[in-house]
Structure 1
Amino acid sequence: MFTDNAGFLAAGAVDALRATLLSGGANSIAPVRAFRISAAMSASQRLQARELVGRKYAARGYAFAAKAGQAAAARDGQEADLLTLTAAREGAVLGTLSVRFDGSQGLAADQIFKTEMRQLRAGGRRLCEFTQLAMDIDEASKRVLACLFHMAYLQAYRQRGAELLVVEVNPRHVGYYQRMLGFRVCSEERMNPRVNAPAVLMCLDFHHAQQQILRYGGQPHLGPVARSLYPFGYSPSEEAVLLEEMAASRQ
Structure 2
Amino acid sequence: MPTPWTAAGVQIEQRAALAARGFDKAVNVHLADTTEKREDACVLLNRRYAWRGYGDHHTLPSHCGCATFAASDETGVLGTVTLVVDSEARLAADRIFSDVLDSYRNRPERKICELSRLAFDSGLPSKPLLAALFHIVFIYGYHRHRCTDLFIEVNPRHRRFYEAMLGFKSVGAVRTNLGVGAPSQLMWLEIATIRRRMLDAQWDVAIGPSRSLYALFFSNDDVATLAETLTADKTPDEFCENGPMVRIFVPEC
TM-score interval, normalised by the smaller of the two chains: 0.7 to 0.9
The equivalences for 1:66-85 within 5 A come to: 66=58, 76-77=61-62, 79-85=63-69
RMSD: 2.6
Using the alignment, how far apart are the partners of 1:137 and 1:35 within structure 2?
17
Aligned to 1:99: 83
Q: 2 CA distance for matches of 1:9 and 1:123? A: 36
How many Å separate the matches in 2 of 1:33 and 1:86? 16
Q: 1:29 is matched with which residue?
A: none
Deviates more, 1:170-179 or 1:131-140: 131-140
5+ residue gaps in structure 2?
A: 1-12, 236-253
Looking at structure 2, the residues matched to 91 and 50 of structure 1 have their Cα atoms a distance apart, in angstroms, of 16
Q: Which moved more, 1:141-150 or 1:96-105?
A: 141-150
Partner of 1:132: 117
Instruction: Give 2:36's aligned residue.
Output: 44
- Find the partner of 1:242 among 226, 234, 243: 226
The answer to whether residue 200 in structure 2 is matched with residue 210 in structure 1 is no
1:144-155 correspondence to structure 2 within 5 Å: 144-155=129-140
Report which stretch shifted further, 225-234 or 187-196. Answer: 225-234
Matched letter for residue 110 of structure 1: D
More displaced 10-residue stretch of structure 1: 166-175 or 151-160? 151-160
Structure 1: gaps (5+ residues)? 1-5, 18-31, 67-71
How far residue 223 of structure 1 moved from its aligned partner, in angstroms, is: 9.9
The answer to whether the 8 A contact 2:167-2:189 is kept is yes
Aligned mates of 2:219, 2:64 — CA distance in 1 = 29
Equivalent residues in 2 for 1:187-198, closer than 5 Å: 187-198=172-183
Q: Which amino acid counterpart does residue 229 of structure 1 have in structure 2?
A: L
Shift of 1:35: 1.7
Structure 1 residue 227 corresponds to structure 2 residue 208? no
- Letter matched to residue 43 of structure 1: T
Residue type of the alignment partner of 2:230: M
| Contact 2:16 2:132 (8 Å CA) reproduced | no
Q: Residue 122 of structure 1: CA displacement? A: 2.8
SS at match of 1:83: strand
Give the superposition deviation at 1:59. 0.3
Cα distance in 1 for residues equivalent to 2:207 and 2:128 = 11
| Alignment pair present for 1:55 and 2:47 | yes
Task: Quickly say closer, same or farther: Cα 1:140–1:60, change in 2 above 3 A.
Answer: closer
Give the TM-score, by structure 1 length.
0.78
Cα deviation for residue 247 of structure 1 reads 3.7
Task: Report what 1:26 is aligned to.
Answer: none
Q: May I ask how many residue pairs the two structures share in their alignment?
A: 219
- 2:152 maps to 167
The alpha-carbon distance between structure 1 residues 234 and 116, as it changes in their structure 2 partners (threshold 3 A), is same
Q: How far does the alpha carbon of each residue in 1:136-180 deviate from its partner, in whole angstroms, 9 at most, with x for none?
A: 042443222111111110111122100000111100001111111
Quote how far apart the aligned CAs of 1:215 are.
4.9
Pairing partner for 1:114 from 91, 98, 101: 98
Could you say if the C-alpha distance between residues 113 and 36 of structure 1 is closer, same or farther in structure 2, counting changes exceeding 3 Å? same
Change (3 A) 1:113 1:64: farther
Relative to the length of structure 2, the TM-score reads: 0.78
The CA distance in 1 between the partners of 2:218 and 2:87, in whole Å, is 29
Contact 2:16 2:128 in 1 (8 A): no
Contact kept, 8 Å, 1:8 with 1:33, in 2: the verdict is: no
Q: Which has the larger radius of gyration?
A: 2
Higher helix share: 1
